[in-house]
Structure 1
Amino acid sequence: MNIESLRAFHRVAETGNFTQVARELFLTQPAISMQIQNLEQSLGVVLFKRTCRSVRLTSEGELLYKYTQQIFGVLSELRNAFQEIGELQSGDLTIGATAIMGAYWLPFFVNSFHHRYPRIKIRMVICNSHKLADKLQNGELEIGFGGSSSGHPTLQQHFLHREPLILVAGKQSALAASHRMLQAADITRETMIMREQGARMTDKVAKWLKKHAPRANPPMIVTVDNMEVTKQMVIDGLGITALPRHAATRELENGALVPLPVKDFSMHTNYFLVTQPNTTFSRTTRAFLSTLFEHGVPIAEEMLH
């Protein structure tokens, strides 16, 4: 029993005409008859009652026809599904990202992709850089957007963007109102609202303060694992924070946050597209990377094919 014999049987059952089916399948009538005979021998049954004027299904033929309807119905659905995937009319896109990349850098590109391919289901997995690298290493994700994954040397990092870090305060803050160049020692006297110890940005600021205000006591730290909450606490006057400039665009424009001029505070954070080496991406992932490329993001062309 093979799929071609089943296809020949299925079409003869539907049309009752060996000659018509032979034309459809680009075979001779004897070849179609031979396929039916081989199928009958394989199953040990007679499938058709043949007369000089007609071809009718036997009860066994009726049973097999019910199954071939299911078989070729599923094959038709499968063909249509993959055609839609090929045309990006259906499918899934999963993007891994750190919180800052997911909240402040990626939305523009996700929105652009969604408008072009509205039937693609989009899922964004948000986690820190270490967990993101783990998920990529384990094959749970195809692509991830975040900071350096130097702890996973087998992963490939593709540089995307360098963003300056800025120190900000609420507009009612005394530091914001002073309108003077601040020193590192001024910062140590403030409450700083930051990510947990060990987070890349928190460690950078701690090292900077230790270098530029070595004799000062370290500032009081309030740890918050959410950038939006951090910004709101700063706006409400509970302290100051350091963050990537693009994470505060809206609040800087409306004046809710004020950038603090601090002597020698010149730091940045790098963002990367992280992947497994030699990955063959799905159609939806390639389409998303193409969206980034079209908007000027430095995506290597070999990743798009």
Structure 2
Amino acid sequence: MLTTNGSTTLREDIEVPLNLPFTLSQLQLMEAIARTGNFTKAADQLFISQPTASQRVHHLERDLDVTLFYRSHQKVQLTHSGEILLGYCHRILGLCQDAQKALLEQKNLEAGNLVIGASTTLGSYLLPRLIGHYRQLYPQTPVQLQISTTPQICQGIADGQTDIAIVEGHIPFKLRELTQVTMESEEPIVLILPSSHPFTSIRSIGVQDLYKLKFIVLDSQHPHDSVIDPDLVIGDVDLERLQPDMSFGSLEAIKNAVQFGLGAAFVPSMSIQKELELGLLHQVDIQNLRIRQKISVLESLKHCRPSSTDLFQKQILKSYFHSSIDEQSDAIAS
């Protein structure tokens, strides 16, 4: 049983039929006629014909059993009953506009809450730029960026704690049935050397030249005796002949070590753009050898996501991934 603020009680099992003698379209028409003082002008504003407008008013007056307008050749005027109904027209149509506005504001609020997950390299070097583009389009929308390992980010998507994720490498097998990949691309892994190294004077080196270098590796991803993941390499190279010399705990530490002449390293291309522009590092091409890391955009299969996810994907990620694919095609062609 429901109780109002007063003493009146309403029973939940009683259905009160709402048989109104008018429709919203009739109220809109009445408001337009009262505003313009003319059936034809009101019909034009509502994109209906004048006969249709006259018929709707006739049906409204019939169902209400009142006369709403005084009609003359010069002008249409409201009767006293028409004045009363017009006041309610303004209130009813105003409430309809308020309801529409409230729902739109709620939709925009939901669209703004965006939780993005990213694996370490992507979260550090790619996502700030992409989120910057997104905030230019939607400056009021709150965005949260979660950076962690690929398995942890994938788990966040599966659990519904993250709306969308961009990860590198393989998605854990146990999470594949709970997630879906919506886009894929590849990020080049490139060879960097100190700016003072002799190889910087030549455009590209051969595979045999790699065996002469001392490499710095990331100890959190590769064992000390492995320079690069074999699954990323396309080309004829003996990875066992590559010489790992030192390992560091972060990509930034590796770049600094190379900069100060401690060795060479394979790093994601996106992570060294600033250093290349400043001349702190040198990137060297390797003949007949390509190293690529797969990048995937991930969403949950079971959890609902806000509309902001689709906006971010269509307006930001789609553009980035398409341009990335075009660059890869140009590189292969050249």
TM over 0.5: yes
Name the CA distance, whole Å, in 1 between partners of 2:138 and 2:240: 57
Name the CA distance, whole Å, in 2 between partners of 1:158 and 1:37: 55
Q: Which residue of 2 aligns with 1:280?
A: 304
* Matched position secondary structure for 1:112: helix
Q: Which residue of 1 aligns with 2:314?
A: 290
Name the CA distance, whole Å, in 2 between partners of 1:197 and 1:248: 19
Q: Deviations over 1:44-75 (max 9, x none)?
A: xxxxxxxxxxxxxxxxxxxxxxxxxxxxxxxx
1:267 correspondence with 2:288: no
Give the residue type in structure 1 aligned to 2:249.
V
Name the CA distance, whole Å, in 1 between partners of 2:283 and 2:243: 21
Q: Which residue of 2 aligns with 1:192?
A: 215
**What is the 5 A alignment of 1:142-181?**
142-147=163-168, 148-151=170-173, 152-154=175-177, 155-177=179-201, 179=202, 181=204
Q: Which residue of 2 aligns with 1:84?
A: 105
* Matched position secondary structure for 1:109: helix
Q: Which runs of 5+ in 2 are unaligned?
A: 11-99, 323-334
Q: How far has the Cα of 1:90 moved from its partner?
A: 8.1
1:140 correspondence with 2:161: yes
Q: How far has the Cα of 1:264 moved from its partner?
A: 3.1
**What is the 5 A alignment of 1:1-305?**
2=2, 5-6=4-5, 9=6, 36-38=7-9, 84-88=105-109, 91-147=112-168, 148-151=170-173, 152-154=175-177, 155-177=179-201, 179=202, 181-196=204-219, 198-199=221-222, 203-204=228-229, 212-213=237-238, 216=241, 218-225=243-250, 227-277=251-301, 279-292=303-316, 295=319, 297=321
Does the Cα contact within 8 Å between 1:252 and 1:259 map onto a contact in 2? yes
- 1:84 and 1:207, CA in 2 relative to 1: closer, same or farther beyond 3 A? closer
* Matched position secondary structure for 1:272: strand
Give the residue type in structure 2 aligned to 1:256.
L
Give the residue type in structure 2 aligned to 1:258.
H
Name the CA distance, whole Å, in 1 between partners of 2:141 and 2:304: 19
- 1:296 and 1:92, CA in 2 relative to 1: closer, same or farther beyond 3 A? same
Name the CA distance, whole Å, in 2 between partners of 1:270 and 1:217: 22
Structure with higher strand content: 2
Does the Cα contact within 8 Å between 1:169 and 1:259 map onto a contact in 2? yes
Q: How far has the Cα of 1:206 moved from its partner?
A: 9.3
- 1:217 and 1:106, CA in 2 relative to 1: closer, same or farther beyond 3 A? closer
Does the Cα contact within 8 Å between 1:88 and 1:117 map onto a contact in 2? no
Q: How far has the Cα of 1:137 moved from its partner?
A: 2.2
- 1:256 and 1:286, CA in 2 relative to 1: closer, same or farther beyond 3 A? same
Across the aligned residues of Structure 1 and Structure 2, the Cα RMSD in angstroms comes to 3.6
Q: How far has the Cα of 1:180 moved from its partner?
A: 6.9
Does the Cα contact within 8 Å between 1:135 and 1:141 map onto a contact in 2? yes
Does the Cα contact within 8 Å between 2:133 and 2:316 map onto a contact in 1? no
Name the CA distance, whole Å, in 1 between partners of 2:263 and 2:302: 46
Q: What percent identity do the matched residue pairs reach? A: 18
Does the Cα contact within 8 Å between 1:165 and 1:245 map onto a contact in 2? yes
Does the Cα contact within 8 Å between 1:193 and 1:239 map onto a contact in 2? yes
Does the Cα contact within 8 Å between 1:188 and 1:219 map onto a contact in 2? no
Name the CA distance, whole Å, in 2 between partners of 1:230 and 1:172: 17
* Matched position secondary structure for 2:244: coil
Aligned length: 228
Name the CA distance, whole Å, in 1 between partners of 2:208 and 2:193: 16
- 1:199 and 1:258, CA in 2 relative to 1: closer, same or farther beyond 3 A? same
* Matched position secondary structure for 1:212: coil
* Matched position secondary structure for 1:243: strand
Does the Cα contact within 8 Å between 1:193 and 1:241 map onto a contact in 2? yes
Give the residue type in structure 1 aligned to 2:262.
L
- 1:121 and 1:286, CA in 2 relative to 1: closer, same or farther beyond 3 A? same
Please give the TM-score of this superposition, normalised by the length of structure 2.
Answer: 0.57
Name the CA distance, whole Å, in 2 between partners of 1:166 and 1:158: 26
- 1:183 and 1:265, CA in 2 relative to 1: closer, same or farther beyond 3 A? same
